[in-house]
Amino acid sequence: MVIVMRQDATGEQVAHLVEKLKEKGLTAHISRGTERTIVGAIGDERVLQAVPLQAFPGVEQVMQILQPFRLVSREFRKDDSIVNVGGVKIGGGHFALIAGPCSVENWETLIETANAVKAAGANLLRGGAFKPRTSPYAFQGLGEEGLKLLAQARQETGLPVVTEVMNTSQVDLVAKYADMLQIGARNMQNFDLLKAVGDVRKPVLLKRGMASHVKEWLMSAEYILSRGNYDVVLCERGIRTFETYTRNTLDLAGMAAARELSHLPVVVDPSHATGKRSLIPPMSYAAMAGGADGLTIEVHPRPEEAFSDGDQSLLPKDFSELCQELKRFAEVCRKTW
């Protein structure tokens, strides 16, 4: 249920309503927009049948939320949410370019890549310290040592850090070093992990599962918001189809649908979606033109030596050329970068 407060509603009136909802065993979530404050009542709404909410001081309108994802929905918040990651805004016209190596391999490669992507125009640094791999024999990441290297790279470049957390036992450790916690595609429906990152007040990058519907993706985001963490950015990274030429199939329609259904920012990962560096630029342009709030792109100075995902990593010079073109697109697409 959504309760829309009048434009002149006072803080005391909002607090009175929230207290009444809590007395009835409901959880109240407050969303303050540019013109209106909205209170979401989450729980068994049947307990409110005899409560005249419309008569409460400051209340303008009471509406039922039709979508199963309530806090994530446009019904709960009409305006685009803006997520702040270490000073970098994502959403609401603010475009984020997240770039870096697939894996943190060593200090020399990491800082070389970080300096290169920053010079090109990236405003967030990505890199995996913990790596979920299909093969148990593949490189699994440097763990905490990798997190320390990412933190050091942030100190030297000023780029906030985005890195993946794989299980609940890692949440506090990764949150200690990272500015944004990434939930990978394989963990999109790891509900204990979603609850855990919801309890940490750090922004979350939630990747869409490779075989998940858009509404399932949004329901996963709902888990995080329901724990009180509203700083969630969705990431479309391709879904599995019958096509074999590309690693996955980039679902730009799904990206646009997520932006239509939800107020959360949505970024696109053309690296994992295509698996081919030659396809990253055209899919990046298409994503920006389609309304994406950002991109996450893998970059490596020597892809042939990369510990993982070398085939889908851009060379720094290619990334720089891509950024120059994206800046031209940003003007047309009314994105601030």
Distance CA 91, CA 42 (A): 25
**What's the one-letter identity of residue 78?**
K
Strand blocks (E) in 266-305: 266-268, 294-298
**Residue 310 pLDDT > 80, yes or no?**
yes
**What's the one-letter identity of residue 316?**
P
Distance CA 160, CA 86 (A): 6
214-234 pLDDT, tens digit each: 999 999 999 999 999 999 999
Which of 69-83, 102-116, 143-157, 200-214 is least confident?
69-83
Average pLDDT of the residues of the chain: 94
CB pairs under 8 A, 24+ apart, for 275-281? 275/246, 275/247, 275/248, 275/311, 275/312, 276/246, 276/247, 276/311, 276/312, 277/303, 277/311, 277/312, 277/313, 277/314, 277/315, 277/318, 279/246, 280/312, 280/314, 280/322, 281/318, 281/322, 281/325
**Residue 132 pLDDT > 80, yes or no?**
no
Q: Which CATH class is domain 83-332?
A: alpha beta
The DSSP line for 218-247 is HHHHHHHHHTT---EEEEE--B--S--SSS
Residue 128's closest CA among 161, 164, 170?
A: 164
Q: Please tell us whether the domain made up of 2-63 is placed in CATH 3.30.70.1140.
A: yes
**Confidence at residue 242, expressed as pLDDT on a 0 to 100 scale:** 97
**Residue 107 pLDDT > 90, yes or no?**
yes
Record the pTM. Answer: 0.89
Do the beta carbons of residue 71 and residue 81 sit within 8 Å?
Answer: no
pLDDT (mean) for 208-217: 97
**Confidence at residue 46, expressed as pLDDT on a 0 to 100 scale:** 79
Which of 7-16, 63-72, 285-294 is least confident?
63-72
Q: How many Cβ atoms are within 10 Å of 334's Cβ, its own excluded?
A: 8
- In the DSSP assignment, the letter for residue 285 is H
Give the CA distances from residue 50 to residues 47, 53, 54, 95, in Å, rounded to whole numbers and listed in that order: 7, 9, 11, 46
Do the beta carbons of residue 180 and residue 85 sit within 8 Å?
Answer: yes
263-305 pLDDT, tens digit each: 999 999 999 999 999 999 999 999 999 999 999 999 999 999 9
